[in-house]
């Protein structure tokens, strides 16, 4: 795992080795994979790497990832990372992802992020999303 993680710390720009390292870390069975992905999502200098780490974190950690993903959604300075965090929320199990997406659509300060949340809610085909859309349209 240390070797894979070292590819993430080799500079600020993503490369094929950086992307490959993120995927390999995510596929790794080692319990160290989630903290490495969390570190990349929280602190890598490149927004693409942070976004990739969020996606794989949602795939790898499920319910354990929701807090970290919403944290990045609120704190990351890059709008593209925030949009990718919204996508990562859509990848969580529906029982977890849909309520978080509704919250983002209702409260996030960034219009592009709210729009992304609405898009993924529409893709969910979840009754809670339909109820939310009805509520928005009734206003």
- Residue spans of the domains in the chain: they are 2-138
Is 70 within 8 Å of 102 (Cβ atoms)? no
Q: What is the pLDDT of residue 79?
A: 94
Using alpha carbons, list the distances in angstroms from residue 133 to 12, 74, 122, 137: 40, 23, 9, 6
Which residues of the chain carry a pLDDT beneath 50?
none
The pLDDT assigned to 36 comes to: 86
Distances (CA, A) of 117 to 1, 20, 21, 22, 35: 33, 28, 28, 25, 26
132 close to 102: Cβ distance less than 8 angstroms: yes
Give the per-residue pLDDT at 81. Answer: 94
What's residue 9's pLDDT? Answer: 66
Which residue intervals of the chain are DSSP H helices? 2-8, 16-27, 33-43, 47-61, 66-75, 79-91, 94-107, 111-124, 127-138
Tokens of residue 31, six digits: 């319990």
Record: fold of 2-138: 1.25.10
| pLDDT, position 16 | 59
pLDDT of 30: 61
Residues 6+ apart with CB under 8 A from 123: 90
d(CA 55, CA 76): 15
Q: Single out the residue of 24, 6, 83 nearest to residue 51, CA to CA.
A: 83
């Amino acid at each position: 795992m240390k070797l894979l993680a070292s590819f993430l710390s080799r500079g600020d720009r993503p490369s094929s080795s950086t992307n490959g390292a993120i995927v390999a870390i995510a596929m790794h069975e080692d319990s160290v994979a989630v903290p490495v992905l969390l570190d990349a999502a929280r602190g890598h200098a490149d927004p693409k790497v942070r976004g990739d780490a969020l996606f794989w974190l949602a795939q790898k950690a499920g319910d354990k990832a929701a807090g970290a993903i919403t944290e990045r959604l609120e704190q990351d300075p890059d709008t593209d990372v925030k949009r990718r965090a919204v996508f990562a929320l859509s990848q969580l199990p529906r029982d977890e992802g849909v309520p978080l997406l509704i919250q983002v659509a209702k409260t996030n300060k960034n219009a592009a992020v709210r729009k992304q949340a609405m898009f993924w809610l529409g893709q969910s085909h979840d009754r809670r999303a339909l109820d939310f859309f009805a509520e928005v349209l009734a206003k």
